[in-house]
Amino acid sequence: MGGEQADRPVFSNGTMFPNGIDAERAAEYRRRGWWTDMMLADHVARHAAEIGERAAFITPDGRLSWSDYDACSDRLARALSSAGLAHGDRVAIQLPDAATVHVALLACEKAGVVAVGVGSRAGDRELRHLLHKTRAGALVSHEEHRGSSMSEAYARLRGEVPSLRHHVVVPRFELDRGGPIVIDGAAVDADMQGGSGAGARADADAQGGPAGPAAARRRLGPEDLWMINSTSGTTGLPKCVMHAQSRWWYFHLCATEMAALTPQDVVMGAVPTPFGFGQWTSHFTPCYLGAPTVVMERFSAALTLELIERERVSVLCAVSTQFRMLLGDPAIHERDVSSLRVMFTGGEAIPYEPASRFEELTGARILNVYGSNESGFATGTRLTDDRERRLRTAGRVMAGTELRLYDAGVEVTGTRRGQPGTRGPAMCLGYFEDPAANEELFTRDGFVLHADVVELDEDGYLSVVGRKSDIIIRGGKNISAPQVEEEVSAHPRVTLASAVAIPDEIFGERVCVYVELLDHGELELAELVEFLISHGTSKECLPERLVVVDEIPRSSGGKIAKGALREAAAKLVGD
């Protein structure tokens, strides 16, 4: 395995991480080509040398070439190293979904530190949780994020998170490649103002920076812990998921086979970068191909359609909520979107009628993937599948991935219905320092348990028919109902809260909260939301429907009757 391993935990199953992939299985994945020894930085360096002036990332207002991507990530890697961050230290990144977040992720790889991806919509409470849980030593951001001063936020957080030592402020590299990198208020690289990738590498070599011998010893390997991101679970605040780069090469192979991807494609990633879907669609697969990626800081249907036309996008990566928003924008009838040939989607069920209209309007074929941040790709549809298969199922199991069906944690045979468990090259490493959560995630034989109930037809096509976890899926984003309940319960007048999904035509589901109040009075949604925002609640966890009741229904065992609440919430649609 690549990289330094002295500080890695060794688990009772003999593996370095709790996912159960031992040396023999890892060797098999490498032998079959599902894992590779090349890191993303190797691909970027190759593209910088061969197609350096072509665009790596395209935003509404700027472009970042492969040479500049390489050079800017070298600069930032050298800055991180100069801050005294040790190999394997965690560095939190909270940046909007533009080119700069990709520069920051690549810089962490080059500097030998572990990136902690923080969603751009995360509130203070979630950011504090992720910093504290991962013991992050630094925070990378712009000076301002979503209208708030990050220097002020860092000053507050530093007093609350003992490990946090540095605040790294970066420019928007796609607009200002020579802008200063500032650490703890001081510019650290004013002497180096951009330039070509080759020049940057030569300069770095002379200074013992990212391209020099010292950096070769610091760089992470393909099976090392490379990134930690968050995922919504069934209890409390987000869990921290560990990733190695090896899994993303397998993602890339699967996606390329599904959609016949080539370097001539222009990819548009509309899904947030720190999360699984956003990682392979904008950070990895286009880079492996040497294809440009179109990104934007915030999703807008009108801007997406404009960029598809302007940049001749051929591959769109979006959740179904987003393509429904595209369908609802009048510009879809005015813009030339004929360049689209494929749209990858996943994370929620595909609505058949809107999906059919999208295909007819654009000429693109929609491909569905099933999996999770933890499991990676499990199943997917292909260009060779007919429309009924593509829009009504989640496809068949990927080559290299094993799928089993479980009932109450026990494998079942002779049936086509159950809770799926998958094992293969796309699995995450496990949850960061969370043995109890890892016990729930992995079966004893190393399969990742998914939070759904599925059926397999006679040809092996998978369909999701139910859900086993307390999750609300809003626009493809998993929202933990217990986390929402915990946030709402902090209101001084709320004695009990229960969050459930309310069906929605655009987002699939929205967040509905039932509450009991201490004074049995009234509480307005606006008042509750204002309170939650003031307490740093992440935007995804803000309720969109509030129902005040005298008593939340209970089951015979005294537990909240979530089923009854879901039925009641479904009847609220249209009210």
pLDDT digits (tens, 9 = 90+) for 344-377: 998 767 878 889 999 999 999 999 999 999 999 8
Distance CA 315, CA 391 (A): 17
pLDDT of residue 81: 94
Place 326 in a pLDDT band, splitting at 50, 70 and 90: very high
pLDDT of residue 264: 98
Q: List Cβ neighbours of 59 (8 Å cut-off, separation of 6 or more).
A: 98, 99, 174, 175, 294, 295, 296, 297
Distance CA 30, CA 37 (A): 8
Q: Where does residue 23 fall: left (phi above 0), alpha (psi -120 to 50 degrees), or beta otherwise?
A: alpha
Distance CA 188, CA 144 (A): 19
Residue 235 has pLDDT above 70, yes or no: no
Buried b (16+ CB within 10 A) or exposed e, 241-264: bbbbbbbbbbbbbbbeebbebeee
| 471-570 has the same fold as 65-224 | no
Domain spans of the chain, in order of start: 65-224, 471-570
User: CA separation (Å) from 416 to 189, 223, 369, 370, 424?
Assistant: 59, 34, 19, 17, 20
Q: Would you say domain 65-224 falls under CATH 3.40.50.1700?
A: no
pLDDT top residue among 514 and 486: 514
pLDDT of residue 190: 47
Sign of CA dihedral 37, 41, 45, 46: positive
Residue 135 has pLDDT above 80, yes or no: yes
Q: List Cβ neighbours of 77 (8 Å cut-off, separation of 6 or more).
A: 106, 107, 108, 110, 111, 209, 210, 215
Per-residue pLDDT of 475-513, as tens digits, reads 878 787 878 887 898 898 888 888 999 999 888 899 999
Per-residue pLDDT of 180-207, as tens digits, reads 999 999 998 744 444 333 333 334 433 4
Place 384 in a pLDDT band, splitting at 50, 70 and 90: very high
Provide the β-strand partners of residue 148.
145
Distance CA 450, CA 440 (A): 10
**What percentage of residues in the chain have a pLDDT greater than 70?**
89
Place 30 in a pLDDT band, splitting at 50, 70 and 90: very high
The number of beta carbons lying within 10 Å of the beta carbon of residue 39 is 23
pLDDT of residue 243: 95
pLDDT top residue among 160 and 233: 160
Q: What is the average per-residue pLDDT within 306-314?
A: 98
**What percentage of residues in the chain have a pLDDT greater than 90?**
61
φ/ψ of 399, rounded to 5, equals: -60, 130
Angle, helices 320-328 vs 301-311, to 10°: value is: 90
Q: Alpha helix locations (H) across 159-312?
A: 197-206, 213-218, 246-259, 276-278, 285-289, 301-311
Q: List Cβ neighbours of 231 (8 Å cut-off, separation of 6 or more).
A: 238, 239, 241, 275, 372, 373, 374, 478
Per-residue pLDDT of 537-565, as tens digits, reads 888 889 999 999 988 886 544 557 787 89
pLDDT top residue among 210 and 419: 419
Per-residue pLDDT of 44-58, as tens digits, reads 999 999 999 999 999
User: CA separation (Å) from 424 to 22, 63, 124, 421?
Assistant: 12, 36, 35, 10
Residue 208 has pLDDT above 50, yes or no: no
Would you give the DSSP letter of residue 353?
A: H
Average pLDDT, the chain: 87
Q: Would you say domain 471-570 falls under CATH 3.40.109.10?
A: no
pLDDT of residue 202: 34
Lowest mean pLDDT among 75-79, 230-234, 503-507, 564-568: 230-234
